Structure 1
Amino acid sequence: MNARPARPAGPARRPSGVREVIRYNWPMYAAGAVTAATGWALARHLPARPAALARAASAGAAALLTTSTLATWHVYDRSELHSYDWLSDLLPDGPGDHLVVCTGLDEASRPVAARYPTARQLVADLYDPALTTEGSIRRARRHAPPAPGTVSARPDALPAATGSLDTVLTVLAAHELRRPADRTALFTEAVRTLRPGGTLLLVEHLRDLANTAAYGPGAWHFQPRATWLRHAAEAGLHPAAERRIATLITAFAFRSPAA
Structure 2
Amino acid sequence: MEINRRKFQGVLNILSFNRHFYFFGIGILALMIISHQIFHWSDFLFWIIIISFLYGLIMPLIVSAYVYDFSGYYDFKWLKNCAINDSEVKQILNINAGFDETSFIIKKNFPNADLKVFDFYDAERHTEPAIIRARKVSMVYPDTQQMKSNLIVSDDHSGDLIFLLSAVHEIRSNDEKIQFLKECYRVCKPNGKVIMVEHLRDFPNFLAFSVGFTHFFSKRIWRNAFKNSGFTTFEEVKFTPFMSIFICTP
- Interval containing the TM-score (normalised by the shorter chain): over 0.9
Provide the aligned C-alpha RMSD in A. Answer: 1.7
**Which residue of structure 2 aligns with residue 107 of structure 1?**
101
| 1:65 corresponds to 2:54 | no
TM-score normalised to structure 1 length: 0.89
On the 8 A contact 2:152/2:183 being kept in 1, the answer is: yes
Matched, 1:42 2:35: yes
* Structure 1 residue 118: Cα displacement: 0.8
Match of 1:12 in 2: 3
Equivalent of residue 228 in structure 1, options 217, 222, 230: 222
Preserved CA contact (<8 Å) 1:35 1:58: no
Specify which of 130, 134, 152 is matched with residue 136 of structure 1: 130
Task: Trace 1:17-28 onto structure 2 (pairs within 5 A).
Answer: 17-28=10-21
- Number of the residue aligned with 1:119: 113
Partners in 2 of 1:91 and 1:187 — Cα distance?
21
Contact 1:90–1:242 under 8 Å retained in 2 = no
Rate the CA distance shift 1:96–1:87 in 2: closer, same or farther, 3 A: farther
Measured after TM superposition, the shift of residue 240 of structure 1 is 5.3
Contact 1:102 1:126 in 2 (8 A): yes
Residues 40-98 of structure 1 show CA distances to partners (whole Å, capped at 9, x for unaligned) of: 3321222434x544443222111111211111111111112111100121142135411
Q: Is the 8 A contact 1:204 1:251 kept in 2?
A: yes
Moved more, 38-47 or 183-192: 38-47
Letter in 2 for 1:23: S
TM-score, normalization by structure 2: 0.92
Which consecutive residues of structure 2, in runs of 5 or more, have no partner in the other structure? Answer: none
CA 177–63 in structure 1, closer or farther in 2 if over 3 Å, else same? same
By how many angstroms is 1:250 displaced?
0.3
Counterpart secondary structure, 1:206: coil
- The one-letter code of the counterpart of 1:14 is R
Tell me which protein shows more helix as a share of its residues: 2
Verify the 8 A CA contact 1:42 1:54 in the aligned structure 2: no
Specify which structure has the bigger relative contact order, considering alpha-carbon pairs within 8 angstroms and separated by 6 or more residues.
1
How many residue pairs match? The answer is 246
Aligned partners of 1:238, 1:244: CA distance in 2, in Å? 20
TM-aligned CA deviation for residue 181 of structure 1: 1.4
Residue of structure 2 aligned with 1:176, choices 146, 170, 179 = 170
Provide the rounded CA distance (Å) in 2 between the counterparts of 1:11 and 1:101: 18
Deviation at 1:242, TM superposition (A): 2.2
The answer to whether the 8 A contact 2:166-2:199 is kept is yes
Amino acid aligned to 1:199: K
Contact map agreement 2:165 2:198 (CA 8 A) in 1: yes
Alignment of 1:67-86 (within 5 A): 67-86=59-78
The question of whether the paired residues in 1 share the 8 Å contact of 2:11 and 2:64 is answered with yes
Q: Which of these residues, 137, 140, 149, is aligned with residue 155 of structure 1?
A: 149
Q: Does 1:245 align with 2:239?
A: yes
Where in structure 1 do 4 or more consecutive aligned residues deviate above 4 Å? none
Q: Secondary structure at the match of 2:191?
A: strand
Kindly, what percent of the aligned residue pairs are identical?
A: 24
Are 1:89 and 2:81 matched, yes or no? yes
Q: Does 1:202 align with 2:196?
A: yes
Tell me by how many angstroms 1:145 deviates: 4.2
Task: Return 169-178 or 141-150, whichever deviates more.
Answer: 141-150
